[in-house]
Structure 1
């Protein structure tokens, strides 16, 4: 069921319920008004007849004759007059006797002075009427034919009004829902025109302050993020294809050359060593890309625990020296007077932090003349600080500007092996842990990486 239909039905049901309650209330109020009005009319008619009888202005037989004759055409009021000791003085039609008075009723009338009651479809009253200092009991009863006839007419009118009103409410609800949802339909039409080849299109915003305007703005922001991600993905795929093509081409060339003619054992050995080097290069590139993908995870998806940075850096140093025995990594610990381990303990993922610091330290070693890096651990305020410095040739302004650009290689790309992933990966991992990374470098004066990570 479409929202337009659902809204129309809900609006109609709610309004119809309120309308029905109002019509029922009108009917009940009308019935109550008719009931009370007729009781007043009975009282007036009873007092009038009692007064005529007790005053002797009209004899009983005449009054009874008038009652019986009128009863053929109208709903005449039947009146009876009694003394307080239950002696009947007058009755319009004793043979009919709608009220059927009893001693108990007389006593109740004397006690309450006035009562109202129903006898089947008839209404009746009983009152104490005082005439010339003496008290009499007067009862009156009749059927309110005129009132009930009007009530039936009102009931039919209300039913017709309810049916007509319900139809109009449904039509009005449908039109209102259609008009209200028309902007959403326009948004849907615009969204359907946004494709992979037209991802730069945006939903027009007519009113930024209403809910649909906010929805359009949020949707446009989402499209903006998707467009950035989409462009990054295309660029990533393009760069990866380019980077993988080089070692694969070299590997294929080595195989082709080896198969062209018979060679000596030493030549075959050299060819295999070259192929092994190309394969290792592809392995490092693929490992870098996998680690880069892991660094793109949400923080909530990564297992975090307390990690001591001094112990982590010792592990990193051991791992680097095992892979590159010619490198030299020196660890320095500051603030030794404060032995609070929490100041150099952070909440993080050891595997990712290991990769980040290893890439930064290896970068120092690769670009310094003596392949060395000095790593210093300190803290200030809420941050644990790790400084990694070298005495290499430093970086140009262009290299610093593109240092954290994926697959970017600096001016020394031909003399130093790499893929342009390490720095981007390190920055993403540090950001993932809520930290900051900065680089200070001048040509001829070396490079310093400064990593700040919040401690526990």
Structure 2
């Protein structure tokens, strides 16, 4: 069932329930009023006849004649007058005797002063009437045909009105549900137009104050993230294609030249050495791409546990020196470590080591003496690592883009690389809720500062 139909049905059912409730209240209230009014009318008629009999001294036969000739007077009420000894003083129609009074009934009336009850379709009232020091028991019974006819007409009116109202309410509910959900329908139509080729389209956010507008704002925010992700993916694929094509083309060209004719052993060795160099570039690129992929994982897919930064830093130093024996890395502890919590973070040791290795390798590569200094310190809230070199530095223009994947700055001519290292390091640092900053003066060196919150 669609939301529109569900809203229509719920709206109709709710209003129908209210209408039914109020209809029953109206019917019950009028039925009670009719009953009370008719009992009062019976009582008044009974007392009037008693006064005619006892005060005006109208003979019973005359009263009976009036009873027989009256047209629709209370639909032929029947009045009987007794004394407290159950002696009948007057009866409208003894031969009919609808009520059939008994000694027990008379005693009940005397005890309770007044009783009311139904006898089949008749309403019956019995009262104890005091007149000039004497007590009389009067009963009156009649059928309120007019009252019942009015109730029946009211019942028919309420039923017909109820069903007509339900039909009207159903179509009104459909109309209002359609109007209420029109923004959703427009949103669906707009969403159907959005594909991977036109992610720049956005939903109308309306007045920005209701739930539909909030949904549109949220959806547009999601589209912004998707568009950025798609753009980054396209740029990433384009850059990878370019980076892979260069060493592959060099390898292919080298091998093709070697295969053209017979060469001496020295030429073959040089050719193989060039191919190995290009293959090593591909290996480094592949490893960097794998690390970058790991850094882009959902946090829930990465194992985090307490890690000491000094231990990770020493492992990174060892790996860098193993891969590049000519590099020199100076470790500096700015403060004595009294509590391991001062340099501990919740993190992934492998990714942190990769980030630090990239920074240390960059520092050594861009220094003329292949040397850099790595210091670790802390304050009340942060653990701080600095990687400092005295190399060629980074221009102010390049500093704005050095953390972009595959970006190669002006100083790239001084060292080989694929432009992934700094981008990867930044992603890893941010994954650990840290901050990485760079300060560099061309010709005087560069300092990268990483701050991690304490565990």
Equivalents in 1 of 2:84, 2:254: separation in Å?
A: 135
Distance 1:94 1:272, change over 3 A: farther
Query: In the alignment, what sits opposite 1:280?
Result: 280
Question: Is 1:372–2:371 an aligned residue pair?
Answer: yes
Deviation at 1:126, TM superposition (A): 1.2
Deviation at 1:61, TM superposition (A): 2.6
Give TM-score scaled by structure 1 length.
Answer: 0.94
Query: In the alignment, what sits opposite 1:76?
Result: 76
Distance 1:287 1:103, change over 3 A: farther
Query: In the alignment, what sits opposite 1:15?
Result: 15
Distance 1:352 1:46, change over 3 A: same
Equivalents in 1 of 2:37, 2:280: separation in Å?
A: 106
Deviation at 1:101, TM superposition (A): 2.6
How do 1:101-180 and structure 2 match up within 5 A? 101-180=101-180
Range with greater deviation from structure 2 (121-130 or 98-107):
98-107
Deviation at 1:387, TM superposition (A): 0.9
Contact map agreement 2:342 2:383 (CA 8 A) in 1: yes
Residue correspondences, number = 455
Query: In the alignment, what sits opposite 1:384?
Result: 383
- Local SS of the residue matching 1:332: strand
Equivalents in 2 of 1:393, 1:49: separation in Å?
A: 128
Query: In the alignment, what sits opposite 2:392?
Result: 393
Equivalents in 2 of 1:386, 1:154: separation in Å?
A: 89
Query: In the alignment, what sits opposite 1:438?
Result: 437
Query: In the alignment, what sits opposite 1:426?
Result: 425
Query: In the alignment, what sits opposite 1:196?
Result: 196
- Local SS of the residue matching 1:196: coil
Deviation at 1:193, TM superposition (A): 2.6
Query: In the alignment, what sits opposite 2:294?
Result: 294
Equivalents in 2 of 1:165, 1:88: separation in Å?
A: 56
Deviation at 1:112, TM superposition (A): 2.2
- Local SS of the residue matching 1:359: helix
Deviation at 1:425, TM superposition (A): 0.7
* TM-superposition CA deviations, 1:179-211 (whole Å, max 9, x none): 222232222223333333322222234422233
Deviation at 1:265, TM superposition (A): 4.7
Query: In the alignment, what sits opposite 2:257?
Result: 257
Deviation at 1:357, TM superposition (A): 0.8
Name stretches of at least 5 consecutive residues in structure 1 with no aligned partner. none
Deviation at 1:72, TM superposition (A): 8.1
Contact map agreement 2:74 2:142 (CA 8 A) in 1: no
Range with greater deviation from structure 2 (276-285 or 118-127):
276-285
Deviation at 1:116, TM superposition (A): 1.4
- Local SS of the residue matching 2:149: helix
Aligned-residue CA RMSD (Å): 2.0
Deviation at 1:279, TM superposition (A): 2.3
Query: In the alignment, what sits opposite 1:319?
Result: 319
Distance 1:72 1:431, change over 3 A: closer
- Local SS of the residue matching 2:243: helix
Contact map agreement 2:46 2:138 (CA 8 A) in 1: yes
Name stretches of at least 5 consecutive residues in structure 2 with no aligned partner. none
Equivalents in 2 of 1:173, 1:363: separation in Å?
A: 69
Query: In the alignment, what sits opposite 2:411?
Result: 412
- Local SS of the residue matching 1:413: helix
Give TM-score scaled by structure 2 length.
Answer: 0.94
Deviation at 1:133, TM superposition (A): 0.9
* TM-superposition CA deviations, 1:199-226 (whole Å, max 9, x none): 2222234422233333333322222222
Distance 1:297 1:142, change over 3 A: same
Distance 1:455 1:41, change over 3 A: same
Deviation at 1:454, TM superposition (A): 0.4
- Local SS of the residue matching 2:430: helix
How do 1:27-106 and structure 2 match up within 5 A? 27-55=27-55, 57-70=57-70, 75-106=75-106
Equivalents in 2 of 1:375, 1:264: separation in Å?
A: 48
* TM-superposition CA deviations, 1:125-167 (whole Å, max 9, x none): 1111011111111111111111001111111111111121111
- Local SS of the residue matching 2:376: strand
Deviation at 1:266, TM superposition (A): 4.7
